[in-house]
Amino acid sequence: MNSIPTPGENYLVRQWFTQKGFNIPLSTTTGEKLAVIYPGKHNKAAGPDFKGAILALENGELLSGDIEIDVSSHGWRCHGHDRNPLYNKVILHLVFKSGAKIVEGEAGLNFKRAELIPNGYTGPGNGQDHYHREHTCPAAFRLKRADIQKIVEMAGQQRFRNKAWRFQQAVTTRGTGQALYQGFMEALGYSHNKIPFLRLSSLLTWNELSYLMGSKTRDPADVEALFLGSAGLLPSQAENKCPHSTEEAVTVLENSWASWKKRQLLQRRDWVFFKVRPANTPPRRIAAAAYLLIHRWLPDPVESLLPFLENKDHLAKILVAPAGDYWTDHMDFNVPAPYSRNLIGRDRAGETVVNVFLPFLYALGNVRRWHKLRSHAMDIYMSSPAMAEYGINQVMKNRLLDCLPGNTALQQQGLLHIYKNYCCSQRCATCPIARSRLLHHCENTPDEPC
């Protein structure tokens, strides 16, 4: 075992996530056999790697709890899991190499430990690639490459229409400005902070923002202070009461927030900073929203968008938000970060166009019966190039025998649609790839979610 190159933790997490390609049944370091009933839900926040797993012992007893994965068993103590109450519900500690013993008093004292050794693993870049090629969708073998590509692209159209349907409901119930504003704020939150961004946009509404701005020409720092103060993320709102920054930019924000005389809507503890990249922290994303609000959206976001619809590159360009002086080298107040010129760069702006603005404009075309707007939004979506590659996209392409060049946003969105609606819930029997005779059924799908 010592001669086998050590894989990375992310590779082991992916193996457990797919439940293929490793030693089954699992054998604990004390010799017990374990069967996996449910591997758990992948946890991207603080705490164990998987939550709510179900395991079965040889005697039929079921165990329910969390799963933690480390390269070495020494990671349990080196990473501080023994002192963290978030790990008290761990029932299985999966490792590539064992060695450390359980010490009485550790968090999760009753957990079991097993070695997760990939079958055929010969080292990073070799066994990992072999693993991904080996485990494919069985239905993919029955279809031609062109058929798989067509199904995935039609799934991408369905995902687009589903998003547009939700925007259509939001436009009719909340108004055009609030629908777009709320959709954009949700996109700023990524997977970690979607909920607090949605809450902020629901409490600090578009109508309220428009009223507060009024006819006055507001300094961008005023709007940024309003957002950050409402979100509870200014230094003066920190629960630990740390010394306030003396930097001029921070002082301006604090004074501006005091002049608003508005209430704080969220607390800092509502936001997730753990495992969030420095460029994507909540204060930076909120500063980006403030910049776009004052420079792009007011007074009417739709009027600001429509002139740029003829050129999708220009549409993405207007969503780029420069970082200014302070946020170029800060991820949070008093927390330095690597230099970053933009709060929202061209790549993320392009993703926002595909995931938010084009579905919104398609929905607006439905509501206002602007058929040209609707068709134009769909045409731009269909011709948009691929965005940044998600890990799920690569896994799905491997499962489908690499039948997709993956050079369009449409294919990427189609893979996400199939993964989230069928693979995650193990609905293989109803997946459009497995039921390829449904191919023509989807071509005239109504503009509502399936």
The three-class DSSP label of residue 40 is: coil
Pairwise CA distance, residues 135 & 399, whole Å: 6
CA 439 → CA 46, 68, 116, 131, distances in Å?
A: 41, 41, 40, 30
What b/e string do you get for 419-447 counting C-beta neighbours within 10 Å, with b at 16 or more? Answer: bebbbeeeeeeebbbbebeeeeeeeeeee
pLDDT range class, residue 6, cuts 50, 70, 90: low
The residue among 340 and 142 whose pLDDT is bigger is 340
Residue 196 pLDDT: 94
Using alpha carbons, list the distances in angstroms from residue 401 to 72, 421, 434: 33, 20, 14
Task: Identify the pLDDT of residue 391.
Answer: 63
345-377 core/surface letters (b: 16 or more CB in 10 A; e: else): beebbbbbbbbbbbbbbbbbbbeeebeebbebb
- Measuring CA to CA, which residue among 265, 384, 382 is closest to residue 313? 384
Enumerate long-range contacts of 343-346, CB under 8 Å, 24 or more apart: 343/284, 343/285, 343/287, 343/288, 343/291, 344/288, 344/292, 344/319, 344/320, 345/320, 346/316, 346/317, 346/320
Note whether 279 and 331 are within 8 A (CB): yes
Summarised one tens digit per residue, pLDDT across range 247-284 is 888 888 998 898 887 888 999 989 988 778 888 899 99
Q: Is 90 within 8 Å of 51 (Cβ atoms)?
A: no
Of 105 and 340, more confident: 340
Rounded-to-integer distance, Cα 136 and Cα 396, Å:
9
Give the pLDDT score at 346.
85
**Residues forming a β-bridge with 70:** 95
The residue that leads in pLDDT, 171 or 85, is: 171
Strands 330-332 and 26-27: unpaired
Distance CA 213, CA 283 (A): 21
| Model pTM score | 0.71
Residue 252, token pair as written in the block: 């301006």
Residues paired with residue 92 on neighbouring β-strands, in sequence order: 67, 112
For 261-345, where are the alpha helices, taking DSSP H only?
282-292, 301-305, 312-317
Instruction: Note the pLDDT of residue 261.
Output: 79
pLDDT (mean) for 34-57: 81
Tell me the HSE value of 255 on the side-chain side, using a 13 A CA sphere. Answer: 9
CA nearest to 44, candidates 334, 333, 280: 280
Residue 183: C-alpha distances to residues 173, 177, 209, 218 (Å): 14, 10, 16, 24
| Residue among 148, 298, 162, 312 nearest 218 (CA) | 298
Confidence of residue 16 (pLDDT cuts 50, 70, 90): confident
Mean pLDDT of the chain: 79
Q: Is the pLDDT of residue 156 over 80?
A: yes
Quickly state the pLDDT bin for 449 (edges 50, 70, 90). Answer: very low
Stretch 367-378: mean pLDDT, rounded? 90
pLDDT at 25: 66
pLDDT at residue 384, rounded to an integer = 87
Q: State the average pLDDT over residues 421-443.
A: 66
What whole-number distance in Å separates Cα of residue 290 and Cα of residue 234? 14
Residue type, 201: S
> 426 falls in which pLDDT band (50, 70, 90)?
low
- Picking from 55, 131, 69, 130, the residue whose alpha carbon sits closest to that of residue 97 is 69
Mean pLDDT, residues 332-337 taken together: 86
pLDDT, mean of residues 101-105: 47
Greatest mean pLDDT among 127-131, 275-279, 377-381, 395-399 lies in 377-381
Please say if the pLDDT value at position 297 is more than 80: no
Q: What is the pLDDT of residue 62?
A: 80
Tokens linked to 91:
């029932």
**115-148 pLDDT per residue, tens:** 776 655 544 443 333 333 335 677 777 778 888 8
- pLDDT beyond 50 at 215: no
Q: What is the mean pLDDT of residues 286-296?
A: 87
State yes or no: pLDDT of 60 exceeds 70. yes
Would you say residue 390 has pLDDT above 70? no
pLDDT at 312: 65
